[in-house]
């Protein structure tokens, strides 16, 4: 049996990844593809417990490096117990954030540096990476406004300064440029329908033979 495809969704806060994950799942299912939607940090029982640790509490709770190690501890559990077994069964995996978030947030925005994150990534994932990564690109001022109007609980990351989010946007664009063969970029300021259409095009371009209505 053919293995499933591993697709990740990346970007700053308030970019609309979660809505699109649901939509892409439906579109792929309509094409007779079995899909599991998951998220990071989290996705398995153990990784969700680590998520509570890393996202809860005060801003100063963890140093940047500790935060990075917690993200990778959660990620390894997720990869070993959920992602790789699903792919092996031929199921496609749609993951809301993955290792590019560690590079963007911890490596660039929190200043740990690309090399350090890449070194840990190599030790933990040993070259395992997404088949396709969709970057939701949006001006952080617009994105913050969206997060606020949705009235969501503000995790400790949402209260970061605008400067942080600007750095983060530039970080993701740089990561996408360095991995151009793996990335597709969507304009997350567009309407939900227009974003969905863009993503479908990216999917059909990447996976030859895939037809999405």
Integer Cα distance of 93 and 36 in angstroms: 5
Question: Which alpha helices (DSSP H) does the chain contain, by range?
Answer: 17-30, 45-55, 64-78, 84-88, 99-101, 114-125, 140-149, 162-178, 192-206
Question: What are the two backbone dihedrals, phi and then psi, of residue 6, each rounded to the nearest 5 degrees?
Answer: -110, 115
Integer Cα distance of 13 and 77 in angstroms: 24
Integer Cα distance of 10 and 26 in angstroms: 19
For residue 10, state whether it binds ligand TYD (rule: CB under 6 A). Answer: no
Of residues 44-73, which lie at the interface with ligand TYD (CB under 6 A)?
55, 71
CB of 211 to ligand TYD, least distance (A): 29
Integer Cα distance of 58 and 61 in angstroms: 5
By CB under 6 A, the count of residues binding ligand TYD is: 13
Of residues 69-88, which lie at the interface with ligand TYD (CB under 6 A)?
71
For residue 107, state whether it binds ligand TYD (rule: CB under 6 A). Answer: no
155 vs 197, beta carbon nearer ligand TYD: 155
Of residues 114-173, which lie at the interface with ligand TYD (CB under 6 A)?
155, 157
Residue among 92, 105, 108, 183 that touches ligand TYD (CB under 6 A): 105
19 vs 205, beta carbon nearer ligand TYD: 19
**Residues found near ligand TYD in the complex (CB under 6 A):** 13, 40-41, 55, 71, 96-97, 101-102, 105-106, 155, 157
């Amino acid at each position: 049996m053919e293995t499933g495809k591993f697709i990740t969704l990346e970007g700053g806060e308030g970019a609309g990844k979660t809505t699109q994950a649901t939509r892409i799942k439906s579109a792929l299912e309509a094409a007779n593809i079995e899909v599991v939607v998951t998220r990071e940090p989290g996705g398995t029982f153990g990784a969700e417990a680590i998520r509570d640790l890393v996202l809860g509490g005060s801003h100063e709770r963890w140093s940047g490096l500790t935060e990075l190690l917690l993200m990778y501890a959660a990620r390894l559990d997720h990869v070993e117990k959920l992602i790789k077994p699903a792919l092996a069964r031929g199921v496609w995996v749609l993951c809301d954030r993955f290792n590019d978030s560690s590079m963007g947030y911890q490596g660039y925005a929190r200043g740990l540096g690309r090399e350090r994150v890449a070194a840990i990534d190599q030790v933990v994932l040993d070259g395992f990476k997404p088949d396709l990564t969709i970057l939701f690109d949006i001006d952080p001022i617009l994105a913050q406004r969206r997060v606020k109007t949705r009235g969501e609980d503000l995790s400790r990351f949402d209260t970061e300064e605008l400067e942080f989010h600007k750095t983060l946007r530039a970080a993701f664009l740089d990561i996408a440029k360095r991995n151009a063969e793996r990335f597709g970029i969507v304009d997350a300021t567009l309407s939900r329908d227009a974003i969905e259409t863009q993503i479908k095009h990216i999917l059909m371009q990447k996976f030859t033979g895939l037809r999405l209505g």
